[in-house]
Structure 1
Amino acid sequence: MKRKKDEVSTGRKSLQYRGNKCLNCNQPLDVSDVYCPYCSQLNSKKQLSAKDFFAEFLSSILVYDSRLRNTLKDLLFRPGVISKNYVKGQRLKYANPFRFFLSVSIIYFLMEGFIGYINPSEKDNQLGLNVKPANEASIDSLFANQPPEIFTPDSRGDTLKAKQLGIPLYYSEKSLDTLSFFENYSKRSSLYMSYYFRTKTENPVVALDSLNHSNRFKNRWLYSRSITWYKIISNPNAFINYITSKIPFFIFFFTPFYALFFWLFYSRKKFTYMEHVIFLFHIFSFIFLTMLIFRIPEVIVGT
């Protein structure tokens, strides 16, 4: 009995945090009430902390009930109010922000995968696949009409190598090493992009061997980046689709950093770091929910 009394007197259940009114349903309470007899919410005015937030998340992970309806209604039509109410204490009325964001993200991923399944052309246009560029002729013209270059003393050999490889220009490793960093990077990228366009060689090791360039990590990395840049230029729609598919990952993993920025920017306001996290989860949930709604017609129509 004594142990139970000690547990009640510490943490969020402490007497010092109790109020005379339920923050969730406004039911009048007595300071002796640990929970609201009407809605069962904990009688506590303690400011939300990370520990409290994740404790509520774990306790509500298996149950949505009416909170889903309230969350959807306020999130779609009053996105600012839901964060305000949740921070003020109306937490049983709404779904846990982190859990809801996670659920919406998972549904969005599943729908994207389903759309890619019923519409293979959209899936095949993702960056990194071997698709035929829409503006290949313009890319060919771009590489074929390279401006005259000022070559090093090894220029004759470079010209012969370019003809041998079927590319408009060639720079040997020796000639590139004599250039400044930025000029070296620029000409090396142009060479690698031009070589990939002519040969479609994806393997950096094979490409560098054909170009007689050293098989160093820097060269392999730059060749791979040149392929990526070529695909962006030749098929910008694929790049947009690729970036769009990665947005949920960026938002999910960078939310703590966004919240830290808001917390520092509004440091004079009496908002905790976790309250900024809650606000951002609600905003991002609203964005994904909107994107999800706009994608539903594609699933129904199948185009």
Structure 2
Amino acid sequence: MIRSIFAVNTIVYLQMPVKQQRKLDHCLNCGKPLPERENYCPNCGQENKDEKVPVGIFIEELLTSLFSFDGRFLQTLAAFFFQPGKLTKSFNEGHRKKYTHPIRLYLVFSLFYFFMIGFLIPKDFFDRILNAGQPTNMPTYQEIIKQQSGEPGPADSARIEEALRKAVEIQSEHFSNESPEDSSTYRQNYSWKALRFLSIDPAVSTEKFGHALDSSAYTFDVGLSLQKKRDLVAHSNLFLIQVAKNLPLMMLLLLPFFAFFIHLLYANRSVFYMENLILGFHLHAFAYAIYGIVILLMFFGGIQSGWFIVGAFVLVTSYAYLALLKIYRQHWFKTLIKFWILGGLYLAVLLSGMAGELYLSLLLL
């Protein structure tokens, strides 16, 4: 029975039209001539498929190559970092065994970048930013801030609890005695630290916290309920973690928009949409690699210059411009105009995506 099924399948396979078993008479990767019924190149092993990349072929190659990793990766890095557009051009021309698959390259460097963000940026980064340059008129706060560098012992915990109790008492007393006419003084006294203490104190009602928030420099109104605003202040660091967790998915969802804008700008070049999407994967992977290295150097190398970040941005944008020049081969000025249009469109989508992602993270807090 099994032999019969195998024989029938073999006959059906042999009777398939030649057109379905081979696409070209030569290998796109190494150029070796292929026999009539050869579906794979006997020289390099690449499957005999056309140079264009329909969605079905793209997904098929993705599934077969995404989870494999070999020595081609090191060979890919040289072209990836020093030859803008080469990987995209080679892939779209059919040289798919020579370099690492674009999706796999994207995943490697996106994981590297977001790992750098999640691992190296401190969990209290949000508080550090908002507390920077905010003086306080309460010496008790300074006693608490000194404990941020490590885990307090039992004696230190008791002192922190006592300082916290006194701080809340001072703030509550100040809140009840403050008149509306003293709003300027009111705004100065309610620093971010004070708002944090009020937000986590169950003795402070939500209405009182709302008045304190409105009287501070951190008031905001984005359609959230007062309780949600209190939750944001109380769990601001958790909010930052939530944003960081959603960021990779958001960027992946924005990639098709980036490819669509390129497709519109180069509609007269008769290029498949998937070829533009491949370029998007390569450009985003390069951006992740450079910005991830910058974060690494800033935290471990001690480089704190703002010019270092500006230089990374210039490098990434120059790389993208040179890649467009190499792939679409238009005049440098015409390419520059299209590059600016592409940057403006993608920036608008990116800001909209960030706003939506922040709002969604607020709702899920």
**Matching residue's letter, 1:283:** L
| Structure 1 range deviating more: 246-255 or 39-48 | 246-255
Partner of 1:134: 132
* C-alpha displacement of 1:222: 5.3
**Matching residue's letter, 1:210:** K
Say whether residues 1:81 and 2:86 are aligned partners.
yes
Whether the aligned pair in 1 keeps the contact of 2:53 and 2:274 (CA below 8 Å) is: yes
**Matching residue's letter, 1:263:** H
Say whether residues 1:2 and 2:11 are aligned partners.
yes
**Matching residue's letter, 1:21:** H
Say whether residues 1:220 and 2:227 are aligned partners.
yes
* C-alpha displacement of 1:108: 3.0
Whether the aligned pair in 2 keeps the contact of 1:124 and 1:131 (CA below 8 Å) is: no
3-state SS of 2:131 partner:
coil
Partner of 1:57: 62
Whether the aligned pair in 1 keeps the contact of 2:136 and 2:191 (CA below 8 Å) is: no
- Alpha-carbon distance change, 222 to 268 in structure 1, aligned in 2, over 3 angstroms: farther
- Alpha-carbon distance change, 23 to 212 in structure 1, aligned in 2, over 3 angstroms: closer
Deviations 1:77-135 (A, max 9, x none): 11211101101111111111112211222233334444x3xxxxx504422x4787121
Distance 2:178 2:267 in 1: 58
- Alpha-carbon distance change, 277 to 203 in structure 1, aligned in 2, over 3 angstroms: farther
Say whether residues 1:25 and 2:30 are aligned partners.
yes
The normalised TM-score by structure 1 is 0.62
- Alpha-carbon distance change, 246 to 62 in structure 1, aligned in 2, over 3 angstroms: closer
Partner of 2:361: none
- Alpha-carbon distance change, 217 to 62 in structure 1, aligned in 2, over 3 angstroms: closer
Distance 1:4 1:139 in 2: 83
Partner of 1:34: 39
Distance 2:261 2:173 in 1: 51
Q: Give the 4+ runs in structure 1 shifted more than 6 A.
A: 241-246
- Alpha-carbon distance change, 166 to 87 in structure 1, aligned in 2, over 3 angstroms: farther
Distance 1:103 1:212 in 2: 44
Say whether residues 1:100 and 2:105 are aligned partners.
yes
- Alpha-carbon distance change, 263 to 269 in structure 1, aligned in 2, over 3 angstroms: same
Partner of 1:270: 270
Distance 1:163 1:296 in 2: 44
Q: Which has the higher helix share?
A: 2
- Alpha-carbon distance change, 113 to 244 in structure 1, aligned in 2, over 3 angstroms: closer
**Matching residue's letter, 1:284:** H
| Structure 1 range deviating more: 267-276 or 194-203 | 194-203
Partner of 1:257: 257
Aligned residues: 240
* C-alpha displacement of 1:19: 1.8
Whether the aligned pair in 2 keeps the contact of 1:19 and 1:43 (CA below 8 Å) is: yes
Deviations 1:27-78 (A, max 9, x none): 2223432111100111221521222112112111332223212221111011
The normalised TM-score by structure 2 is 0.53
Deviations 1:192-229 (A, max 9, x none): x959664433369955332688xx9533345667x59x
* C-alpha displacement of 1:253: 2.8
Whether the aligned pair in 2 keeps the contact of 1:79 and 1:286 (CA below 8 Å) is: no
Say whether residues 1:70 and 2:68 are aligned partners.
no
